[in-house]
Structure 1
Amino acid sequence: MVCRYGDDLRSMVNQVKQYTKEGNVANYIPALSLADPADVAVSIYDGKDTCFSEGNHYQLFTLQSISKVLTLALALMDHGREIVFSKVGMEPTGDPFNSISKLESNIPSKPLNPMINAGALAVSSLIKGNSNEGKLKRLLNLVRELSGNNQININKEVAKSEFESANLNRALSYFMKQHGIITSDVDELLDFYTKQCAIEVNCEDLAKIGYALAHQGEHPSDKYSVIPAEIARLVKTFMVTCGMYNASGEFAIRVGIPAKSGVSGGIVGAVPGSIGIGIYGPALDEKGNSIAGMKLLELLASRYHLSIF
């Protein structure tokens, strides 16, 4: 397979592997603590070919917070901007992704944005469906369509582990229910949310999802619209302003690529009108981002002039 990124990617991945020793896997979700912190893998999709680095790019990992991008798109398709943003704000936060402090101080008590846990829970509560099974089927179909992979499914072990350790998310949900942001049953919402986070992909799947977002929501190979262009634009905007937790501002300056990370170590990148990037590196920094993945994106952005700024 001819790959114009191939030699560069190998060099870059080897260069960033050293940083994995400085990070730690997410151990507050027991099932995620089993990941190998030394793993680093990447895929780049340009609409014609997919290029891989050294590393096991077929390694499966769960979306975790990357799913927030996709549930936001689905909720916007279900309800439109006015209803969605009556439940969640549009502002970045300097607090950790699982913080409750802003909910207590804000009036009304709605989450600042859809990329923090409270905001994602509020957005997930809006997904249409008569049951969690129906809602998950709709979300899975969206992920499968964007990635072109009909085999994508939920890792039930990770979902169970997350549900059983979801004390903070449960607290966030009850707080929002008290203030009318969430109206659904909390345990049903957490069942959906933890399964949403446990959707399992590989780097190639992520790169194709990133490519679709980079191209106004078009299917990565067949070029029909999966997500309306305006919703894809909104989603990319949140990826820039809030996608890397409370490191988003520094990431925008250093890298400048719309991206969203997850505590499994995944990162999806969407360079508008250009490539999609999928990265896996489960060793995380103190803010919950893949430490090698962040360094790798910085190298890619510099080498190929990918910053949107």
Structure 2
Amino acid sequence: MKRNGFCNAVLSLIIACLVSFGNTAYAKRIIQKGDATNLITEKMLSDILEKNRTYCTKGIVADYIPELGKMDARAIAFSVVKPNGEVISVGDTQKKFTIQSISKIISLMVAVEEKGEKEIFDRMGYYGTDKPFNHYANLETQGKPLNPMMNAGAILTTALIDGEGDIPLQKILDMVRYITKDDTVTFSETVYMSEKETGHRNRGIFYLLKNNGLVEGEEDKLDNYFKQCSIEVTSEHLAKIGYFFANQCVRFDGDTKYKSSEMSKLIQSQMLIAGMYESSGEYARTVGLPSKSGVGGGIVVSVPGRIGIGTFSPSLDPQGNSVAGYHMILDLVNQLDLSLFK
């Protein structure tokens, strides 16, 4: 094991040197002879993080939710779960932030586990979009949400999970705790209250869904959505979530309780076509991997059959995606030739 680790470290250094000197073609030929993700080291991630740290000042911290506006724009973290389940993290790895829209892939899994894919998607589409995450005009024109990654579809997804009161939230929390193997994961009461007090557009979406006969019940169902967005995580948690969906819903430590290739394909396909909102098409062209962002500054990435990636930097671009997070992911993808599209 020690010898293999030393060899991987040397090979990783050689590849890094080739990339730094512009000989990416030769580096990619070396990578293609084996799984490049085994070569990821702490130094590799640290170098990428430091290279992209300046992007922390290139965007704006989300302030339309007042509590999110208090986040430190200089915070940055980068985590990877390798094929063998090893976790490597650099930067502000202990910094907690709210999961926000990344929670949508968890609630979708819970809902489909309970009701089946057909029942969920009879009420919403599989479609991508060129519209922002809070767009809802299609509820008037088509009568149902475009996909479960936009707010309208995500609010509906959570409302369809069985149980009264906060039982649906507890199911989502339990799934996050299971995937990350961390029973301490919970939600931020202050962020939840901030979202609830300012979430008038989401409240309007809930009542449009109700008006269209897609959901029943009262606003406690919407409260569960606000609370799931307020779940606090770290970049390591996100990398473990990315690994889980990349590997047929097998946990990073090998636990196969929820193993399902069909669930894995469903979640990753939605991440790929709509996980970065109206930037999803461009992101698929540049990064080429299933990914999901959140306005708390996180991005989760699944490299199918291989690794999970988690990044954190709260400074966002106009579409609500982390600027530094995107560039860190792009550099790792280019360095190790990870894109699905060859």
TM-score, normalising length: structure 1: 0.95
Contact 1:73–1:232 under 8 Å retained in 2: no
Work out which of the residue numbers 127, 139, 161 in structure 2 matches 1:127.
161
Q: Distance in 2 between the 1:139 and 1:44 partners?
A: 23
Is structure 2 residue 201 aligned with structure 1 residue 168?
Answer: yes
Q: 1:225-266 deviations in whole A, cap 9, x for unaligned?
A: 325321121000000000001100000010011110000001
Q: Distance in 2 between the 1:227 and 1:177 partners?
A: 34
Task: Show the counterpart of 1:275.
Answer: 307
Q: Distance in 2 between the 1:222 and 1:91 partners?
A: 32
Identity of aligned residues (%): 38
Is structure 2 residue 230 aligned with structure 1 residue 193?
Answer: no
Work out which of the residue numbers 112, 119, 135 in structure 2 matches 1:83.
119
Q: Distance in 2 between the 1:238 and 1:96 partners?
A: 16
Work out which of the residue numbers 223, 226, 229 in structure 1 matches 2:261.
229
Work out which of the residue numbers 32, 40, 43 in structure 2 matches 1:7.
43
Task: Show the counterpart of 2:27.
Answer: none
Task: Show the counterpart of 1:25.
Answer: 61
Where 2:172 maps in the other structure, the secondary structure is helix
Q: Distance in 2 between the 1:137 and 1:183 partners?
A: 19
Give the paired residue count. Answer: 304
- What is the CA-CA distance between 1:190 and the residue it aligns to? 1.6
2:80 maps to amino acid: I
Work out which of the residue numbers 70, 74, 96 in structure 1 matches 2:132.
96
Q: Distance in 2 between the 1:60 and 1:41 partners?
A: 10
Query: Pairwise mapping of residues 1-309 of structure 1 onto structure 2 (< 5 A)?
Result: 4-46=40-82, 47-53=84-90, 55-106=91-142, 109-132=143-166, 134-185=167-218, 187-226=219-258, 228-309=260-341
Q: 1:17-76 deviations in whole A, cap 9, x for unaligned?
A: 1122220011000110011112211110113321122x2111001110000000001110
Contact 2:271–2:292 under 8 Å retained in 1: yes
Q: Distance in 1 between the 2:54 and 2:168 partners?
A: 41
Q: 1:250-300 deviations in whole A, cap 9, x for unaligned?
A: 000100111100000011111111111111010000000001111111111
2:169 maps to amino acid: L
Instruction: Detail structure 1 runs of 4+ shifted over 4 Å in the superposition.
Output: none
Q: Distance in 2 between the 1:222 and 1:182 partners?
A: 37
Aligned-pair RMSD on alpha carbons? 1.4
2:300 maps to amino acid: V
2:141 maps to amino acid: S
Structure 2 segments unaligned to the other structure (5+ residues)? 10-39
2:206 maps to amino acid: S
Q: Distance in 1 between the 2:228 and 2:261 partners?
A: 23
2:112 maps to amino acid: L
Contact 1:44–1:50 under 8 Å retained in 2: yes
2:311 maps to amino acid: I
1:195 maps to amino acid: K
Where 1:154 maps in the other structure, the secondary structure is coil
Structure 1 segments unaligned to the other structure (5+ residues)? none
Q: Distance in 2 between the 1:130 and 1:123 partners?
A: 15
Contact 1:146–1:226 under 8 Å retained in 2: no
Contact 2:99–2:231 under 8 Å retained in 1: yes
Q: Distance in 2 between the 1:122 and 1:299 partners?
A: 35
- What is the CA-CA distance between 1:222 and the residue it aligns to? 3.2
- What is the CA-CA distance between 1:198 and the residue it aligns to? 0.7
TM-score, normalising length: structure 2: 0.86
1:52 maps to amino acid: S
Contact 1:25–1:284 under 8 Å retained in 2: yes
Question: Greater CA radius of gyration, 1 or 2?
Answer: 2
- What is the CA-CA distance between 1:154 and the residue it aligns to? 0.9
